[in-house]
Amino acid sequence: MPTLSLANATDLANGIPQTWNKAVNLQADRDSIMGKLTGPDGSRAPFWDKEELTKVPGDRINFVGWQRLIGKPTTGTSTLQGSEEDAQVWTDVVTVSHRRHATAIDKFALKVTLGASIARLGQLMADWFARRTDDDMIDQILNTDTIQSIYGGGKSSRANVGAGDTLDLLEFKRLRTAAWRFGVKEWQMSRVGRMNFPVYGCMLSEVDYYNLTQDDNFRQDVRLAAERGAGNPILSGKVDMVDGVILYPWAQVSPGDGMYGTFLRPEARLAADISSSATSLTAGPTTAITNVDYWQYFPDAAASQVILIDSEQITYTGVVGSTPGDRTLSGVTRGANGSVAAAHTAGALITMRNISKALLFGMGAGCRAWAQRMERTGQVYDYGKEIGVGVDWIYGVKGTERNDAVLANCLSLEVFSPNPSTV
């Protein structure tokens, strides 16, 4: 867009109700999984929010957690003083940074007023912000922090997970049992009658959710445990809780030109046809939208990574190209791990060898630190014809770590995750 010749930003600000910031923040929290599950620092909520509005980008905000007490009591006439159990306290630090995003529309093309345009852009921003902040937390926990992991089929590593190691009821129960054994604390969910029930939460891809719900043993468990009649989750098509674990399917969002997955199950599409000998692969549609990063959920690779196109495995060691935009893999080896190098057509699905992750979380699994909540910014171009609305905020996220730098209240399960035959 061209630079404004007149300062019309004031006009835009005057056209937006003062409640815009509050309304969009509230909507974002309603749309966000993390937003619905947050509580203050040290609470029994799965995620903790902390605001320190005097902070600036680069500052750090501290969170404090506590280990459970496990010592023996003092009995009889024995003296308690000097026999106290040391409180095991861990402190975690979140660094906040300044972040921005914006979108724009042609008011005249849509034939809507300034106010209606701003309202619609606010809805878009709330939806984007909710997903972005959830993505930030998932990415931090799974790809940056040190998380304890188990693997489908009882395998010892991701490399050993194979086609038979899909998410079924047995794997789901293994995940919950592992959480108990690793000491992941359950969080408290309020129910009717003001009773609190200890539960875990589990975020999983839409493909793993599908595979799980197709397991006959899983379906039988749900059918017997839930209410009879039309409200039964099997009949209604919605399964919320199994074995004390609340399920949160986390599906990909299509930018309108193909799939690009999630951090739980990275997906991309091949941008152009490649031969069996090609050593350059580009992710993205045949005509890319320049402000979408089509490789954002895949590792940029400090070490060799394995992807799958059709039945061929391919390794890569780096990613080049603009961000956002098309991304091209470097250090490519074709026909890896005994597979056969083959030609592939544009639009072919790219996955991380069909491996996905289910993220189980307990109490205080992660922290969101805020130095500034989302606030709107705006610009008007071409004398009110084009309207841009942006948001900026100062925050950071982090999984809560024990003193040994391992995440305290999360656990990941990696399984084989083939696409449903209908996709």
**114 vs 118: CA distance, rounded Å:** 6
**292 vs 354: CA distance, rounded Å:** 23
Ramachandran region, residue 80 (left: φ > 0; alpha: ψ -120 to 50; beta: rest): alpha
pLDDT at 364 over 80: yes
Cα–chain center distance at 247: 14
Are the CB atoms for 211 and 265 separated by under 8 Å?
no
**78 vs 84: CA distance, rounded Å:** 12
DSSP code at position 270: B
Q: Average pLDDT of 317-323?
A: 77
pLDDT at 12 over 70: no
pLDDT of residue 9: 44
**226 vs 210: CA distance, rounded Å:** 19
pLDDT of residue 293: 78
Provide the β-strand partners of residue 281: 329
Among 104-108, 244-248, 335-339, 386-390, name the one with the lowest average pLDDT. Answer: 104-108
Confidence band of 26 (pLDDT split at 50, 70, 90): confident
Among 104-113, 223-232, 280-289, name the one with the lowest average pLDDT. Answer: 223-232
Please give the backbone phi and psi of residue 368, each rounded to the nearest 5 degrees, phi first.
Answer: -115, 120
Q: Which SS3 state, helix, strand or coil, does residue 62 take?
A: strand
Task: Read off the pTM.
Answer: 0.86
Query: 15-31: buried (b, 16+ CB within 10 Å) or exposed (e) per residue?
Result: bbeeebbeebbebbbeb
For helices 20-31 and 114-139, give the axis angle rounded to 10 degrees.
40
Q: Average pLDDT of 145-161?
A: 94
HEC sequence for 73-94: CCCCCCCCCCCCCCCCEEEEEE
Q: Render pLDDT for 237-280 as a digit per residue (tens, 0 to 9).
A: 555 788 889 899 998 876 666 567 899 999 988 888 999 999 88
Among 19-33, 206-220, 222-236, 261-275, name the one with the lowest average pLDDT. Answer: 222-236
pLDDT at 234 over 70: no
Q: What is the DSSP secondary-structure string of 98-147?
A: EEEEEEEEEHHHHT--HHHHHHHHHHHHHHHHHHHHHHHHHHIIIIISB-
Confidence band of 6 (pLDDT split at 50, 70, 90): very low
Q: Using alpha carbons only, give the angle 113, 255, 236 rounded to the nearest 5 degrees.
A: 95
pLDDT at 375 over 90: no
- Percent share of the chain, pLDDT over 90: 37
If you count them, how many residues does the chain have? Answer: 423
Are the CB atoms for 200 and 243 separated by under 8 Å?
no
Q: Report the chain's mean pLDDT, rounded to a whole number.
A: 81
Q: Average pLDDT of 29-40?
A: 87
Q: Average pLDDT of 215-231?
A: 68
Higher-pLDDT residue of 75 and 373 is 373
Q: Average pLDDT of 166-183?
A: 93
pLDDT of residue 11: 45
**392 vs 408: CA distance, rounded Å:** 31
Query: Who contacts 239 (Cβ-Cβ below 8 Å, separation ≥6)?
Result: 213, 222, 233, 247
First to last CA, the chain: 38
Q: Average pLDDT of 61-72?
A: 77
Q: Average pLDDT of 377-393?
A: 76
